[in-house]
Structure 1
Amino acid sequence: MSIRWRLLEGILFHHLMGASSGEDAYVLPMALGFDSRERLDEFVAVLQKVVDRHDILRTAVLWGACGSRSRWSAGTPKSRCARPRWSTSPRVMCRAWWTGCSRHGTLMDITVAPLVHVTVAPVPGTTRCVALVQVHHLIQDHTAVDVLFAEVQAFLEGREGELAAPLPFRNFVVQARLGIPVAEHEKFFTTLLGDVTEPTAPFAVLDVRGDGTGVAESSVALDQVTAASVREAARRLGVSAATVLHVMFARVVAAVAGREDVVFGTVLFGRMQAGAGADRIPGLFINTLPVRLDTGRGGVLDAVRSMQGDLAELLVHEHAPLALAQRMSGVAAEARSSPRCSTTGTVWARRTPVWKWTGSRSCSRRSGPTTR
């Protein structure tokens, strides 16, 4: 079956851009640790069972002699996960754990299913093993990764009978594509962005192209007092904490961009209108779309109410292509951000989650390297 999905086309574009360098910013790495080779083999066998359950995990991407659009082949034959490649080199092991990159770079052959690869190595002097699981963003988002590992956990604990029957991802794609007419998307984003003639450029940086591998990420967690204050402010205003945070971020963007009327990108869940069962299906649902706020007009309450209404309307258009939204603006084509970037010029950064799979089959997630 051939399916057309605009966000996937944008990711494919950047995959092809990175082919010459051997790097792909959309290969999502996950590092795992096992207390024995047997436990690792069990994990790989169970991972294959999960891949067998879902059509999107058995999907390859083909293009070229397919007309003007890519062909997203969701009917591929049953495939096996990549056979583990063993190495006694501590250097290879460290690269898997610390940087999430395999010996052969991050570029993946997306014409061969599944787009799930496993590279493993022993920990010298111990019975432990490490594994680098790489999943291409063409078939997964954050929620989908959680779904995948929840099903792996269910199989490992003998609860596979509790899993609901898998639903075809292609059904959700069709539903999303047919939900809102293109003309409605165009009307909404023309109203939102039609009079925007210059991109919002924090620190005057506009050139954010590239394969994404040179991007560094820094994050600071809000302390409990500040987080509680945000929630309390949202409660008093009768809005969500997300609305308040969007207004706060708009103020930050305005300060670093040197302008009051700002446009920036926000990530949408993509599953709100995808139909029943969308919360338990692997696959790429998320989307990035523009948000606009004139921080110099009105007070804080006005800004919050305006953002609340805009976010509610944006949810109706959560499956609209970012390229469509950009075309509806008055910004010249050569000044627009690339499909991988938000309209603030901020590139999505890669993160390497680290899991530890213990002998008792428990799985815990941590957001950084481990030094066990």
Structure 2
Amino acid sequence: TMRHRSWVVPQHEAAVLTGRTPEAFHCGVQDVLLAGLAGAVAHRYDGGTGHGGDGSGTGAALVVDVEGHGREPLEGADLSRTVGWFTRSHPVRLDLSGIGTGEVPAGGAAAGELLKTVKEQARAVPGDGLGHGLLRHLDPTAGPALAALPGAQIGFNYLGRFAAGPREEPVAAWQLAGETAIGGSADPGLPAPHAVEANAAVRDTPGGPELTLTLSWPGGILDESEAEELGRSWRRMLSGLAAHSARPGAGGHTPSDFPLAGLTRDGLAELEACVPEPADVWPLSPLQEGMLFHATFDQEGPDVYQSQRLLGLDGPLDTARLRAAWEELPARHAVLRAGFHRLTSGEAVQVVARRVELPWREADLSGLPETEALAEAERLAANELAERFDLAKPPLLRLLLVRLARNRYRLAITSHHILIDGWSMPVVLNEVSALYAAGRGTDAALRPAASYRNHLAWLAGQDKEAARAAWRAELSGVAEPVLVAPADPGRAPVTPVVSSAELSAESTRALTGRARAHGLTVNTLVQGAWALVLARLTGRTDVVFGGTVAGRPPELPDVESMVGLFINTLPVRVRLDGAQPVRDMLRELQEHQSALIAHQHLGLPEIQQLAGPGAVFDTMLMFENYPRNAPELSGPAGTDGGVAIRQLKTLAGTHYPLAVGAVPGEHLRVHVTYRPDLFGHESAARIARGVVRVLEQIAADPSVPLGRLDVVDPVERGRTVEGW
């Protein structure tokens, strides 16, 4: 015969246990109630072994079957309004070793440790317990193994929070009666699933929440006094948790609050000492890891991964409105509130602050002559770029607005590349335009922004073993690094310099047409051209260089509207045979790159560790095909005119000694970013012209053998011969 006994928690304690306590410990009411029950069982039975304890309450593990409503959010399914029985139950192993549960009722540190321990162990259950029933009863392999484990002696169910019943003023045509039973009752003939069933429910009453605890047990297993003492112990544990929650500094995060980061308790404590109450903690993407290393390698020299975009603004600009539009962005995109930290364990994480203040500076140069104003604006922008960010202190974004004359402005957007890539900037500018048009405090009709966190979660779910195998195979046989500069890992960073060359409009159209006719991308043609130039520079016929990929997986919802660093730099290997037609080499190159698309998420350091010296290179190529047309800043309805935005220039560097960029447009432009201490300006210019020269020949005749392509212009070759 099942017996039952209930206890009602005083309303002032119930209010804390259902409000302040879960809020302080970033958990649910169920976690609080389960912690109290686990503490009571551990204290009473020395770990739930069934043997009387000595009162120390530092026993071993106990197993509790936790029942839930089974309506947890599932991808592609909304069960919130579906009628049916979704209840699920799963075992939770709770190890309270080392926790003095006898001290919990006093509300001291043991109470907080109890709740944090139970919260973490309950959240360690895969999928919050969903799927356990399938494995236990239907899986031919896992089922017998799970069945062989000792069953839980305790069942726990938090039934939820319910209205108390009728009010004085009816609010609907019908209402639940106040005495309505919650949870129903079982047929007396059913066997008891556990030695003790513990249920809890909260009812909202005019005087506050009413928390009822109920124990049910078979009379033949547990006598009345034993159950009575267990219930009172549960009450005392909850009283201790409530008292502890009222103490200054009580609560705090635990690692499960930031599941992507994979933190330990010690690591989280170290982090919170620097950043109290973080909104979130994320791991780093592969390229973020590399940029953090290079940014912190030399704190005295320039940070080559700081970038700046300069915009010209022409029109009746409302500067306050523009500033307000920019200041809304960090609230929309959590990545703009991220700072970067390396723990003593060596692990790097990015911490999202709850709020940040966006640095905004203004300068009025309209009183100066035009040439002086422009020169001063350049100087101010250069100072903005030179001022290093502290990567641990967000935001890693600041703005300088310079007034040159009436209705003429220049905006310098300085940011760190670790935070945002070139494909993200158009998203940012489009949102600023919409927010500016809407005005302060007005709905800009922007959809909620998808978080960069989603991308990091996607990265964590990728098949790394398959990627490792693919890259190992791709780079097999490359025995030596492909370098254009002397190897020197300790070389201090310097401010890079840029040299450019471009194709004519006619050659650009011809190149695009050739690519289309042969089913190739212009990016592939540029990669092939750079491979040929690199082969000439290094004297190699099997070359490897870094290629930048956009890194925005199409299967990730709303990835096109996300802001963050998605790009990745990966090895591009090109084998060159002088007798092979150019088009065949390009087709093979594109096929190889296409086969690697599914594996572009792996980080370069890991690839280099797998493939050895052959994956080491010191040049990179980036095909910059992100949108470059800036939107107009339109004033709100009823105002005069808009503000035209002109893209003036973008300043960005890299740690590679030599980096080649290709910018599509009416004239395809090739720019070479180089270290001036390793390359002269004429050498860099010659390299840029060499890439253009090869592209022109590909556009003219892609059937020509590779060995007949001229990397050096005939005029330049003649000058060189004459010089010798």
Q: Is the shorter-chain TM-score for this pair beyond 0.5, marking a shared fold?
A: yes
After superposition, the Cα gap between the structure-2 partners of 1:28 and 1:193, relative to the gap in structure 1 and judged at 3 Å, is same
2:646 to 358, 364, 367: 364
Asked if 1:79 corresponds to 2:356, the answer is: yes
Equivalent-residue separation in structure 1 for 2:507 and 2:430 (angstroms): 32
Corresponding position of 1:8: 288
Residue aligning to 1:278: 559
Question: What secondary structure does 1:102 align onto?
Answer: helix
- CA–CA distance in 2 between the matches of 1:240 and 1:103? 37
Tell me the equivalent position of 1:340.
none
1:325–1:368 distance in 2 versus 1, CA, 3 Å: closer
Secondary structure at the counterpart of residue 142 of structure 1: coil
* Equivalence for 2:341: 62
| SS, match of residue 611 in structure 2 | coil
Please list, as runs of the form range in 1=range in 2, the aligned pairs for 1:205-216 lying within 5 A after superposition.
205-207=486-488, 212-216=493-497
Return closer, same or farther for 1:354/1:44 CA change in 2, 3 Å cut-off: farther
Unaligned runs of 5+ in 1: 338-342
Is 1:184 the counterpart of 2:466? The answer is yes
CA shift in 2, pair 1:284/1:368, >3 Å: closer
Q: Name 1:152's counterpart in structure 2.
A: 432
User: What secondary structure is seen at the aligned counterpart in 2 of 1:283?
Assistant: coil
Q: How much does 1:232 deviate?
A: 2.4
**Who is 2:619 aligned against?**
345
Is 1:245 the counterpart of 2:523 in the alignment?
no
CA distance in 1: counterparts of 2:498 and 2:376, whole angstroms: 18
Quickly say closer, same or farther: Cα 1:128–1:237, change in 2 above 3 A: closer
Which among 112, 118, 129 is matched to residue 393 of structure 2? 112
> For the pair shown, which has the larger CA radius of gyration, 1 or 2?
2
Q: 1:219 aligns with which of 500, 503, 506?
A: 500
Q: Does the 8 Å CA contact 2:312/2:648 hold for their aligned counterparts?
A: no
Residue 83 of structure 2: aligned partner: none
Match of 2:605 in 1: 323
Residue 368 to residue 169, structure 1, CA distance change in 2 (3 Å): closer
Relative to structure 1, is the Cα distance of residues 85 and 354 closer, same or farther in structure 2, using a 3 angstrom cutoff? Answer: farther
Kept in 1, the 8 Å contact 2:569–2:604? The answer is: yes
Q: Find the partner of 1:166 among 438, 445, 449.
A: 449
The 1:83–1:249 alpha-carbon spacing in structure 2 relative to 1, beyond 3 Å, is closer
> Aligned pairs, how many?
351
- Paired with 2:490 and 2:550, the residues of 1 have a C-alpha distance of 24
| Cα 1:279–1:103 shift into 2, 3 Å | closer
Offset of residue 136 of structure 1: 1.2
CA contact (8 A) 1:194 1:328 kept: no
Paired residue secondary structure (1:68)? coil
CA spacing shift, 1:96–1:289, aligned 2, 3 Å? farther
| AA partner of residue 324 (structure 1) | E
Q: Distance in 1 between matches of 2:391 and 2:432?
A: 23
Query: TM-score, length-normalised on structure 2?
Result: 0.44
1:122/1:73 Cα in 2 relative to 1: closer, same or farther (>3 Å)? same
Which one has the bigger strand percentage?
2
Once the two structures are TM-superposed, the CA of residue 190 in structure 1 deviates from its matched residue by 1.1
Deviations 1:193-241 (A, max 9, x none): 1321211123x54448756543211122221221122222223322222
Deviations 1:81-140 (A, max 9, x none): 1142647698897465368422683310222222111234444x7675544221111110
Change in 2 beyond 3 A, CA 1:152/1:42: same
Letter in 2 for 1:163: L
The alpha carbon displacement at 1:246 in A equals 1.8
Matching of residues 80-95 of structure 1 within 5 Å: 80-84=357-361, 86=363, 94=375
After superposition, the C-alpha distances for 1:244-303 in whole angstroms (9 at most, x for unaligned) are 222222111111111111111111010034602111111000011011111127612431
Query: Residues 209 and 278 of structure 1: is their aligned pair in 2 closer, same or farther, counting only changes over 3 Å?
Result: farther
For the residues of structure 2 that align with 1:289 and 1:94, how far apart are their CA atoms?
39
After superposition, the C-alpha distances for 1:136-188 in whole angstroms (9 at most, x for unaligned) are 1111000111110111111222396442221121111111221222x222211
Residue identity in the other structure for 2:341: L
Find the partner of 1:42 among 300, 316, 321: 321
> What one-letter code is carried by the residue in structure 2 that aligns with 1:59?
A
8 Å contact from structure 2 (residues 385, 414) kept in 1: no
Report the RMSD for the aligned CA atoms in angstroms.
3.2
Q: Does 1:266 align with 2:536?
A: no
8 Å contact 2:398–2:413 — kept in the other structure? yes
